């Protein structure tokens, strides 16, 4: 008697379960979850998937492709930026070298100019002040001040004794202004 009651009861439970979850509901979900989405042949609808679920899956696939395309674009931009960065660093290094070369040339030119001034100053220092004064007056003012400022003070004073008073005053003012 127990079996008579138990069998219809089990049949009722099984029928209710089949109505609520679908006949293959208990078996299909784990099977579908374990299969990749692209395991079905193209163009065939997925079994046990409703139309809204299909559109959701399609939207997810589109977004995934968009993200992959964005990632690829970002990788390309990153590679381009790295190339630009390397180029900028190479140019910066080259510019630093050119700057150093220019500074070295400027130092050489300045040293050569100073050497020329020293030689001119030495010439004026060794000259008789009476002979050097007219020549100093004939030079442009900046050159005359540069020579006088580089000379020994006593020799410069003796030289200025033979320069005209107006020119000596003018050179003295310029000498003071340059200091």
Is 38 among the domain residues? no
Residue 33 has pLDDT above 90, yes or no: no
Q: What is the mean pLDDT of the chain?
A: 82
Q: What is the pLDDT of residue 172?
A: 84
Q: Does a structural domain hold residue 158? A: yes
Considering the domain architecture, whether residues 170 and 143 belong to the same structural domain is answered as yes
Within this chain, do residues 104 and 131 fall inside the same structural domain, yes or no?
A: no
* Residue 115: predicted pLDDT: 92
| In a shared domain, residues 104 and 133 | no
Domain range for 175: 127-179
pLDDT at 27 over 70: no
Dist. CA 175–CA 169, nearest whole Å: 10
Convert the pLDDT of each residue in 37-85 to its tens digit. Answer: 555 566 665 567 788 888 999 999 999 999 999 999 999 999 999 999 9
User: Which of 108, 139, 155 corresponds to the end of one domain?
Assistant: 108
Within a domain: residue 16? no
- Rounded to whole angstroms, the Cα distance separating 15 from 79 reads 62
Does residue 140 belong to any structural domain of this protein? Answer: yes
Please report whether residue 160 resides in a domain.
yes
Examine the domain organization and report whether 100 and 132 are in the same domain.
no
Structure pTM? Answer: 0.49
Q: How far is CA 172 from CA 118, 121, 166, in A?
A: 20, 17, 10
- Do 162 and 129 form a contact (C-beta atoms < 8 A)? yes
Instruction: Identify the helix (H) or strand (E) that includes residue 139.
Output: none
Q: How many domains does the chain have?
A: 2
Give the contacts of 121 (CB within 8 A, at least 6 positions apart): 147, 150, 151
Q: Do 54 and 102 fall within a single domain?
A: yes
Residues 102 and 144 both lie in one domain: no
Distance CA(131)–CA(159), nearest Å, equals 9
> Does residue 175 sit within a domain?
yes
In a domain, 102, yes or no: yes
User: 29 or 150: which carries more pLDDT confidence?
Assistant: 150
Structure tokens at 156: 């410069």
Helix axes 141-150, 51-126, angle to 10 degrees: 70
Does residue 33 form part of some domain? no
């Amino acid at each position: 008697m127990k079996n008579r009651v138990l069998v219809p009861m089990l049949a009722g439970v099984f029928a209710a379960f089949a109505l609520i979850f679908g006949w293959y509901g208990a078996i299909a979900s784990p099977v579908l979850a374990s299969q990749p989405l692209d395991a079905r042949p193209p163009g065939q609808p997925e079994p046990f998937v409703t139309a809204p679920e299909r559109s959701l899956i399609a939207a997810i696939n589109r977004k995934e492709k968009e993200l992959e395309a964005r990632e690829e674009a970002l990788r390309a931009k990153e590679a381009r930026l790295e190339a630009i960065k390397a180029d900028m660093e190479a140019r910066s290094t080259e510019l630093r070298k050119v700057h150093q070369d220019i500074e070295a040339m400027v130092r050489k030119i300045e040293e050569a100019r100073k050497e020329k001034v020293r030689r001119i100053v030495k010439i004026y220092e060794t000259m008789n002040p009476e002979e050097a004064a007219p020549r100093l007056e004939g030079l442009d003012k900046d050159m005359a001040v540069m020579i006088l400022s580089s000379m020994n003070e006593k020799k410069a004073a003796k030289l200025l004794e033979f320069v005209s008073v107006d020119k000596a005053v003018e050179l003295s003012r310029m000498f003071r202004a340059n200091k």
